Structure 1
Amino acid sequence: MAMTIQTGTVRELHDYVVTGNARTHRSDAGSQAAVGDAVLAPLAEALERDGYAVLPDLLDGDRVAEIRAQLAPHFRDGGGRNLFEGLKTRRIYGLVEKAPASHALAEHPLVLGLLDRVLEPNYLLSQLQAIDILPGEATQPLHHDDGFYPVPRPRPPLGAATILALGDFTAENGATRVIPGSHLWDGREPSPEEAAAAVPVAMPAGSAVIFLGTLWHGGGGNDSGAPRLALTAQYCAPWCRQQENYSLSVSLQTARACSPHMQRLLGYSIHAPFMGMVDGMHPRRLLEG
């Protein structure tokens, strides 16, 4: 009996070529509500040119108030654990489980539409957290968010992030500072002069800033008399490890209640050919019981 020998590479085999790695569980990447090119194009151009773009009025006042209300019970007295987190800055991690209203930022169609242009399909949510900069906080050290991936620069970004203002951001209360164009730098750090010239992203509550993982930025110092509250969603390439371990921090019950977009972002998805599989199959089968 003659033996059939399969030839070719993995990428030539049908089931592994199809993004999503299954005929039943096709990837829904890019299937969010469409945002017109008239809106997306100038924002994408700003991302490419400057490394960041402001998204005015991304969420309305009711949604901002809902997010703030869900965050409030989880804040504790005191500040962060180190100078980077901020000794007078409060943070809440694990918001996928703790504050479902925060999903509105993580899976916003405008945000996903821009991410579709700068990251590979099936990119992941890396972290979702709240940051409350209290009065008297010093400026945060400048950094770029994908710096912990040991891939030399210059290079394309391995991630991106959004920061949503849950109250007005001003230069006095700790608005995020950015160095426009620094996403294109090689491995060098900002000079003292460049750091001093970092631009505060002032914006009203409900607006957001999106920036590439290669952009040098940092939280501003709070010289006002009130806290500066923000929600941030960070994303990474589909083959990079997420900062938050969602397999432990998000229950199956919560994951099942998430939208298909949030499920994909959490890791209930496949990056071809088979990264993310469970027992050789698509992880979304776990959500089907």
Structure 2
Amino acid sequence: MSHKPAPASGNNRVDTIDSLDGLHADLARRHRATQSSGTAVPDTVVAADLAALERDGYVILDNLLTETECEEIRAAVAPLLDNTGRNTFEGRLTQRVYSVLNKTRACDRMVDHPRVLALLDRLLLPNYLLSQLQVINILPGEDAQLLHHDDGMYPVPRPRPPLSAATVWSIDAFTQENGATVVLPDSHHWGDGRQPADGDTRVKAVMPPGSCVFFVGTLWHRGGANASDQARLAVTAQYCEPWLRPQEAFTLSTTRDTVRVVSEDIRRMLGYSIHPPFIGMVEGMHPKRLLDTPS
């Protein structure tokens, strides 16, 4: 993976990396980038999803998981739900599970769902990364979360193309009363000086179990208040451009044994990939070589 500068030419031309055909090429040799499973989604479906996303900043994808799959996820994550949030943003009455991939395989199917990857393939550069994965259980009595946009930590002026995207999956049905995610349509177009106001349109992402709301990182949104008498279980996966630092340091928090058993899509999104020409290398080589040796 290492790149050696070309020798100086006789005409005193300065060689730069821009002179490489490989600036945006795959230099990984035997560990070349793999094709996303999003390519299996029909173009007409992706075009409709993308049109809604570009117009509103979000799109609801209904019934991607079966009720049986949702039951399996509930059973797998229930033992992991213990502590509630440490502040008002996490939610004093909200349970969150971090380092999910090390604790259960039940959430993998949401991280690498083809319908989601098909959109990411068109929004972000190849070899985009998983930025965060959480299980979120909003308990009865929880207040609404502060409004925010997910890529606000990146100091790039707005308006601009999104640097990230997110999904929130309804493992339990999202209703008007139980804390459904609240989105502000068209807010992904706002500039730096624009803040949410009382008169702005706000939409609750009401959806059946096994659905997800997909939105770009520039969209203002929040977790809703839970005024019901039942908890509301969700899983959220966030993704970012391959040249950005993810919110979770997955290369530190995820064991190599886990990396070996997840799908190729997830492995790539954890950082076992190269963003051309050589961002993400280890010892000048593709990081997947680390999986060839014992942990």
TM-score clears 0.5: yes
1:80 paired with 2:85, answer yes
Identify which of 169, 189, 193 aligns with 2:199: 193
CA-atom RMSD in angstroms? 1.6
1:259 maps to which residue?
Answer: 263
- Confirm whether residue 169 of structure 1 aligns to residue 165 of structure 2: no
Residue equivalent to 1:242:
246
Of the structure 1 ranges 22-31 and 250-259, higher mean CA displacement relative to structure 2 is found in: 22-31
Look up the SS of the partner of 1:275 in the other structure: coil
Q: Provide the C-alpha distance between the structure 2 equivalents of 1:94 and 1:66, rounded to a whole number of angstroms.
A: 19
SS of the aligned residue for 1:70 comes to: helix
Q: Deviation digits for residues 50-101 of structure 1, max 9, x if unmatched?
A: 0000111111122212221221111115x21111111111111111111212
Give the whole-Å Cα distance in 2 for the aligned partners of 1:175 and 1:4. 60
Aligned to 2:273: 269
Q: Distance in 2 between matches of 1:189 and 1:267?
A: 34
- What number of residue pairs does the alignment pair up? 283
**Equivalent position of 1:18 in the other structure:** 25
Q: Deviation at 1:192?
A: 2.5
SS of equivalent to 2:131: strand
Q: Please give the per-residue CA displacement for 1:209-268, whole angstroms capped at 9, x wherever unaligned.
A: 100000000011000000011000000111111111112211011101111111100000
Distance 2:133 2:104 in 1: 10
1:58 equivalenced with 2:64 (yes/no): yes
Counterpart of 1:5 (choices 5, 8, 16) is: 8
What's the secondary structure of 1:117's corresponding residue?
A: helix
Match of 2:3 in 1: none
Contact 1:15/1:23 (8 A) holds in 2: no
Give the partner amino acid of 1:205.
P
Q: Which amino acid aligns with 2:20?
A: L
Residues 81 and 97 of structure 2 are in contact (CA less than 8 Å); yes or no, is this contact kept in structure 1?
Answer: yes
Question: Which letter does structure 2 place at the counterpart of 1:165?
Answer: S
Shift in Å at residue 30 of structure 1?
Answer: 3.1
Identical aligned residues as a percent: 53
- Over residues 90-144 of structure 1, what are the superposed CA-to-partner deviations in whole Å (9 max), with x where a residue is unaligned? 1111111112121111111110000111111111000110111110011111100
Aligned residues of 2:22 and 2:276 also touching (Cα < 8 A): no
TM-score w.r.t. the length of structure 2 is 0.92
Q: Does 1:206 align with 2:210?
A: yes
- The unaligned stretches of length 5 or more in structure 1 are none
TM-score of the two chains, using structure 1 as the length reference: 0.94
Is residue 233 of structure 1 aligned with residue 237 of structure 2?
yes
Asked if 1:282 is matched to 2:289, the reply is: no
